[in-house]
Structure 1
Amino acid sequence: MSEMSDLRECICMFARTMHGRGLTHGSTGNISARTPDGGLLVTPTGSSFLTLDPARLSHFDAELNLIDGDKPTKEMPLHRAFYDTRGTTGAIVHLHSAHSVALSMMPDVDEDDFLPHLTPYPIMKLGRVKLLPYMLPGDAAIGEAIRGLAGKRSAVMLANHGPVVAGKDLEAAVYAIEELEASAQLAMMTRGQNPRLLSDDEVARLVETFDVEWDA
């Protein structure tokens, strides 16, 4: 099996596992990944993570011209923005996961550091997550907002919508967005109970030890 065929199968496999665990639902969410020749494979518009067909993924060349497959997700502006501004990006995952969306609606969330510092792994895998204001799904303004971050964040949370994570490859992006949702779930579970957060010194040690991108 070729690298391209392997990548098509992996996109569909990861999508099914995320759908099966309730991380997205219906026809929500989208994935893109760099192909070996510098192009992109993207999940089609209106498709379900549960029933993706590897042969029907939207296939773009290196200039982002659609070569074959179905029409891509309407969220292409946010995908392009990450690829254009973060040179290390090999894949992007966008979900409508419930706990992270719920947390994004809370009035006291820190826009520059969306996830409270409850456990080490979100810090290690995501750095600071930027909360972006609500915009119409598919709006080019989402891409412009991501471009405005100048590649300094690997993850953003679209308020009242869902998280977006860029990773070095598909596996890394999937694992990171799962960590984001799990951390948001913990935040909602412990909300109002005054949980003990990691201290600033503990966060700083994580950032230094694991070489975390930690944009101020």
Structure 2
Amino acid sequence: MSIESKAREDICRIAKSMFDRGLTRGSSGNISVRLPDGNLLMTPTGSSFGFLDPARISLLAPDMTHLGGDKPTKETPLHSAFYETRSGTGAVVHLHSSHSTALSMLPEIDPDDVLPPLTPYAVMMLGKVKLLPVFLPGDPEMGEAVRGLAGKRTAVLLANHGPVVAGKDIWAASFAMEELEETAKLALMTRGMDPRILTAEQVKALQDKYPS
């Protein structure tokens, strides 16, 4: 099996797992993977994570020219911004997962660091997650907002929309995305309960050992 064929299969396999576990629904969410030649595979617009066809995954050139497969997701500018600003990015995952989206709506969250340091793995896998403003779906300004972070964040949360996570490959990006969603769930479950969080010293030790 070629590298591209395996990447197509991995996209469909991971997407189906996320759909089956309720992390995304309907035709929401999108995934992209960068191939060794620089081309990108991207889930098509209007497609459901539960019913993707490997042969119909969109193929794009590094400049986002459509080379084959179905028309790509309208969130292409969002994906391209991560590839352009983070050289080690091999995949990007964007979901409309419920807990992360709910967290984005709360007035008290810190827009520079939306996740409270509840567990070591959230700090290790995500670093600080930036809250970005509300944009219309597909708005190129989403990509400009990500570029404005100059590659310093591996994950962002789009207000009233959902999380976006970049990783070295599709597995790393997917695992980090699930950690983000679970941490958001914990934050909502413990809201108003004054939970014990990691200390500033513990967070710094994790960030020094596992830079994002």
Q: How does 1:123-134 map to 2 (within 5 A)?
A: 123-134=123-134
Question: Aligned pairs, how many?
Answer: 212
Q: 2:120 matched to which residue of 1?
A: 120
1:41 matched to 2:41: yes
1:203 aligned counterpart, secondary structure = helix
Q: 1:51 matched to which residue of 2?
A: 51
1:99 matched to 2:99: yes
Q: CA deviation at 1:60?
A: 1.1
Q: CA deviation at 1:208?
A: 1.8
Q: 1:23 matched to which residue of 2?
A: 23
- Measured in 1, the distance between the counterparts of 2:62 and 2:97 equals 30
Q: CA deviation at 1:59?
A: 0.4
Q: 2:154 matched to which residue of 1?
A: 154
2:164 aligned counterpart, secondary structure = strand
Alignment gaps of 5+ in structure 2: none
Q: 1:145 matched to which residue of 2?
A: 145
Q: CA deviation at 1:62?
A: 3.1
- Measured in 2, the distance between the counterparts of 1:180 and 1:142 equals 20
2:14 aligned counterpart, secondary structure = helix
Q: 1:2 matched to which residue of 2?
A: 2
Q: 2:200 matched to which residue of 1?
A: 200
Detail structure 1 runs of 4+ shifted over 4 Å in the superposition: none
Q: 1:181 matched to which residue of 2?
A: 181
1:50 aligned counterpart, secondary structure = helix
- Measured in 2, the distance between the counterparts of 1:134 and 1:67 equals 31
Seen in structure 2, the aligned counterparts of structure 1 residues 141 and 63 have a Cα distance that, compared at 3 Å, is: closer
- TM (norm. structure 1) is 0.96
Q: CA deviation at 1:36?
A: 2.4
- Measured in 2, the distance between the counterparts of 1:76 and 1:60 equals 10
| Letter matched to residue 67 of structure 2 | I
- Measured in 2, the distance between the counterparts of 1:49 and 1:114 equals 26
- Measured in 1, the distance between the counterparts of 2:113 and 2:179 equals 15
| Letter matched to residue 100 of structure 2 | S
Cα distance per residue 1:189-215 (max 9 Å; x no partner): 0001110111101111111222x23xx
Alignment gaps of 5+ in structure 1: none
- TM (norm. structure 2) is 0.98
Cα distance per residue 1:50-99 (max 9 Å; x no partner): 00000000001233221110000000110111111111110000000000
1:63 aligned counterpart, secondary structure = coil
- Measured in 1, the distance between the counterparts of 2:121 and 2:109 equals 19
1:93 aligned counterpart, secondary structure = strand
Q: CA deviation at 1:186?
A: 0.2
Cα distance per residue 1:5-44 (max 9 Å; x no partner): 1000000000000111111001000000011211000000
Using the aligned pairs only, state the percent identity: 62
- Measured in 1, the distance between the counterparts of 2:35 and 2:207 equals 31
Q: 1:190 matched to which residue of 2?
A: 190
- Measured in 2, the distance between the counterparts of 1:63 and 1:202 equals 41
